[in-house]
Amino acid sequence: MMDGLKISIFIFIYSSLTFLYLLPNVNGNAVCLNCKALKDCKVPADFVAYAKGDEESKLVDKAADDPADVKMDVCLGPKKKISGTLTTYICSGGTDGYCHAIANPGSDKFTRQLYCAMCQRRCPCEGRRSKGTRARETAIFVPICLATFYILV
């Protein structure tokens, strides 16, 4: 009699914990991070950059009957949604024309800041200086600094 009770309790606890473990994967929880570094970064609405290849399958087209999510719809391209729990981050062009970092809501503050910095590097912001422009500016700036140093010394 006691063995049957122990087994029943074990099965109940196991199934309860399994259900709780699977719950976030059903929702596709993701949050649009509030990145100060990306506030002036304009990109096309269809731009997407993935940190990992497996994240690519989690960005899917919205069905006609999917409810609107005001917070996420701004961060994603038109008619897109997240359909799984993200393990890292996605950089996405939003309907507002700016680049956004999207991550798992369980990420800590340091990780969120890291994701914002990574999206700042990966998003092709309009008006950002190219590597060639930076090299030319450096080639002019360094000799000016050296000349100023030698004049002052």
Three-state helix/strand/coil letters over 86-153: CCCEEEEECCCCEEEEEECCCCCHHHHHHHHHHHHHHCCCCCCCCHHHHHHHHHHHHHHHHHHHHHHC
Q: Give the pLDDT confidence score for residue 70 in this predicted structure.
A: 79
Q: Give the pLDDT confidence score for residue 137 in this predicted structure.
A: 63
Q: Give the pLDDT confidence score for residue 24 in this predicted structure.
A: 42
pLDDT tens-digit map of 76-134: 887 888 888 888 899 999 889 999 999 988 888 899 999 999 999 999 987 665 555 55
| pTM for the model | 0.64
Quickly state the pLDDT bin for 17 (edges 50, 70, 90): low
Q: Give the pLDDT confidence score for residue 138 in this predicted structure.
A: 66
Please, what's the b/e burial string for 12-26 (b: 16 or more CB within 10 A of its CB; e: otherwise)? eeeeeeeeeeeeeee
Q: Which of 10-19, 64-73, 96-105 has the lowest mean pLDDT?
A: 10-19
pLDDT tens-digit map of 35-57: 998 988 999 988 999 888 888 88
Strand 89-93 to strand 48-50: parallel, antiparallel, or no bridges (unpaired)? Answer: antiparallel
Cα dihedral across residues 81, 75, 67, 29: positive or negative: positive
Quickly state the pLDDT bin for 28 (edges 50, 70, 90): low
Please report, for the chain, the start and end positions of each structural domain, with discontinuous segments joined by +. 24-129
CA-CA distance, 109 to 146, in Å (whole number)?
41
